[in-house]
Structure 1
Amino acid sequence: MSSKSYLAALIGGVMLSASTQAQDYLPVLQYHHVSDTTPRSTSVTPEEFAEHMNYLQSAGFQVVDLRKALDDLKANTPLPSKAVAITFDDAYRNIYQSGFPVLKANNFPFTVFVNSGPVERNSRSFLSWEQMREMQAVGGVFANHTENHPYMLRKAADESDDAWLVRMSEELDVVETALIKQLGESPKMLAYPYGESIQQIRDMVKGKGLIAFGQQSGVISAESDFQNLPRFPASGPYARLSTLKTKLNSKPMPLLAEEAGGDYATSQPVSIRLAFKDGQYRLKDLACYVSGQGKATLDWVSDKEVVATASEAFNVGRGRINCTMPDQTGRQYYWYSNVWIRPGAEQVYMSEKS
């Protein structure tokens, strides 16, 4: 082999190796409390959190800066192999006390979504701006979680639609101003309180130049809705490492289209219509699960289009359908989730508009 041929083969091999090691999707972990004395449903114990972080380190995951990774995905720039991002909602002080030392020791970047009201009131349960600046110096990023953590879709008594939207806008603007004043910058990212949004909110968020996250499970790709991105909860019943490993190894569901009938559930069972891209997929192994109900009924309307239907109506609050499907190797799963909100009779929710 000539020197030129050898060099070409070597470069080609390096490029092939690099391409096989890159990925075009991102799983994101969502935490709240790192404590064994806070509500279990939104908590991991310090020992569990350390176990999660040690696994990421030992298994070769590349913990990435969330905003940079999202920008790379949108630009179709490959992420490192086994890329993952870490987030926290609410800015509880126990993140600093029990989570930050582990993150710092592993040199892991992370994002905390801050509701600034209790921070400004100097609540002892929440991070201080001084603590945030300390965390910021070693990889911490602080983003928007509204000022007062409201149910964003609920209107106050006798509140007009316009007044409601102004109030929600101010919830975001106050935090953006505080982040810049106290920390010198904002990553222009938002986590919706309780993971709830409707199209009017998402349009307003997009108009402000914010990327936003819900609380539905799934994996982010360039095709995701960047005003309603998924994350994997890693607290409470989802803190078990064995199940978290599967989620960390997941890929985005190869969907061409989806139709959920809106963001609100009613007294009727919800259903969702999913259309799959062309490709070799194990569609016969698709399974969809309804929160609190078990498996959804699957009705295939064509070879690549299915309707998943719950067996009964959701209770008041939030409900989900989660769908998974093994890839061709059986070693990874495609993952998708959708969330609906069913308002209570006494609650005044903003109506959906097209």
Structure 2
Amino acid sequence: MTLKTKFILLSLSLAAGLLVLGSLAVTRYHSRIPLINRLFYTHPRATNSETPIYPYTGLKPEPNDPNGIYYKDRVIVLMYHDISPKPDDLKSLSVANFDKQLELMRDNNFHWITMNQYRNFILHSSPIPVNAVLLTFDDGYESLYKYAFPVLEKYHAPSASFLIVNTVGNPQHNGVPKLTWEQVELMHKNGIDFFSHTYDSHMYVPTGPSNKKQLPMLASQIYLKDKKRKETEQEYEQRVTSDLKKANDILFQKLGAPNHVLAFPFGAFSKPLLKICNQLGIDITLTVKSGLNKAGQTNGFRVNAGGMTNDPVLQMSLMKQALNRLGNNHFGKPSVPHHFILLTLLVLLILGVFWLWVGWKLFGEKMRRKIGGIAP
């Protein structure tokens, strides 16, 4: 094989390798490169609980089956927010539809479990009934007490509620009316357990000076206007630790039990946040991504069952087909291992060295021919 042929082959191999390396790097690290992230990846607020998504496509009403077994050793965690007689907000579910949901669950052999049962199943593989369902309510709206609680009592359904602790009984806090501690304590004695939705970190905040890019406060390093810079990782961890610890302390003081569960605001989380939860004894966390939960899955899926567009009948069909429609869902992981990128880079470096060596020899050979051609 001539030097020229070797050089051409090495050049083609090097070009192909660079394309592969670039593709691998973009796939793994796109979130760290804002321009590429904007060009090639879309980031709708899929983790934002204000954007309900109901995967009803292709579903049809199904007859009641009081003996049906749709899944075993799995739990569907249903997520609700506001319950209202006449909803006027997208994420508000009508009382009638909520009642119908529970009626259909009862009539189709679904079994409600408590958070304690769920936690023991996730952490210790404790037995649970077939078609297990955990009902959860976010944000601590007053409507939980006024409208949801009577329906839950009607069906003897246990549930769990996640409180933004600083809003409970706090008239200074703006927004939708929240629960009082008296209401919380009454419901706590009658089948509803209460857990953390942070102390006061349920909001989007700027991550830069322009306010254009905003991310969930609990999962992101925020921009410090007074210091004109972003939080350091240490500052972020101190802030989040303080917020979650304060929520835990107040819940323990009010309810007499340690808090081991956290629902992430907007479903957003990060590796440092998961580490902080572990340090604080929070061993169960919940997102807003749809899926089925199995033993060992400490960061859990939830199916959004609330909202004005909810259809209880199709919701029931979805739950019956959960294994096929939700059972394979998982949290995104880097599709390309870090060591694979390093190995590709090493191969390219070796190819590059050979390419330079062959190119240098080819250049020398051409120079010798040129000098030989003009010699007297």
Equivalent residue letter for 2:115: L
Does residue 1:113 correspond to 2:179, yes or no? no
Encode CA deviations 1:169-220: one digit per residue, 9 max, x unaligned.
1121111111111111134100000110011111111222211101000010
CA shift in 2, pair 1:173/1:66, >3 Å: same
CA shift in 2, pair 1:253/1:50, >3 Å: closer
- Give 2:124's aligned residue: 75
What TM-score do you get using the length of structure 1 for normalisation? 0.63
> Does the 8 Å CA contact 1:72/1:79 hold for their aligned counterparts?
yes
Secondary structure of the residue aligned to 2:177 is coil
Tell me which of 312, 315, 319 is aligned to 1:241: 312
Secondary structure of the residue aligned to 1:47 is helix
Where relative contact order (Cα < 8 A, 6+ residues apart) is larger, the structure is 2
What TM-score do you get using the length of structure 2 for normalisation? 0.59
- Give 1:129's aligned residue: 181
Does residue 1:153 correspond to 2:219, yes or no? yes
- Give 1:336's aligned residue: none
Residues in 2 aligned to 1:130 and 1:213: alpha-carbon distance in whole angstroms: 26
CA shift in 2, pair 1:22/1:42, >3 Å: closer
Tell me which of 83, 102, 105 is aligned to 1:53: 102
Encode CA deviations 1:115-149: one digit per residue, 9 max, x unaligned.
01111524581111110111011111000000111
Mapping 1:184-333, distance limit 5 Å: 184-210=256-282, 211-224=284-297, 226=298, 228-236=299-307, 239-249=310-320, 250-251=322-323, 253=327, 260-261=333-334
> Does the 8 Å CA contact 1:142/1:186 hold for their aligned counterparts?
no
Secondary structure of the residue aligned to 1:220 is coil
- Give 2:141's aligned residue: 92
Secondary structure of the residue aligned to 2:248 is helix
Q: Show structure 2 runs of 5+ residues with no match.
A: 1-68, 204-215, 337-376
Residues in 2 aligned to 1:42 and 1:258: alpha-carbon distance in whole angstroms: 24
Residues in 2 aligned to 1:195 and 1:32: alpha-carbon distance in whole angstroms: 14
- Give 1:31's aligned residue: 80
CA shift in 2, pair 1:46/1:217, >3 Å: same
CA shift in 2, pair 1:182/1:258, >3 Å: closer
Structure 1 or 2: more helix by fraction: 2
Shift of residue 254 of structure 1? 5.5
CA shift in 2, pair 1:127/1:37, >3 Å: same
Structure 1 or 2: more strand by fraction: 1
Encode CA deviations 1:45-96: one digit per residue, 9 max, x unaligned.
1111111111122222211102322312432232112211100000000111
Secondary structure of the residue aligned to 2:219 is coil
Percent of aligned positions that are identical: 23
RMSD between aligned residues: 2.4
Shift of residue 40 of structure 1? 3.1
CA shift in 2, pair 1:55/1:196, >3 Å: same
Moved more, 98-107 or 181-190: 181-190
Equivalent residue letter for 2:177: S
> Does the 8 Å CA contact 1:238/1:244 hold for their aligned counterparts?
no
CA shift in 2, pair 1:21/1:245, >3 Å: closer
How many pairs are equivalent? 241
Shift of residue 237 of structure 1? 6.1
Moved more, 190-199 or 53-62: 53-62
Residues in 1 aligned to 2:71 and 2:138: alpha-carbon distance in whole angstroms: 28
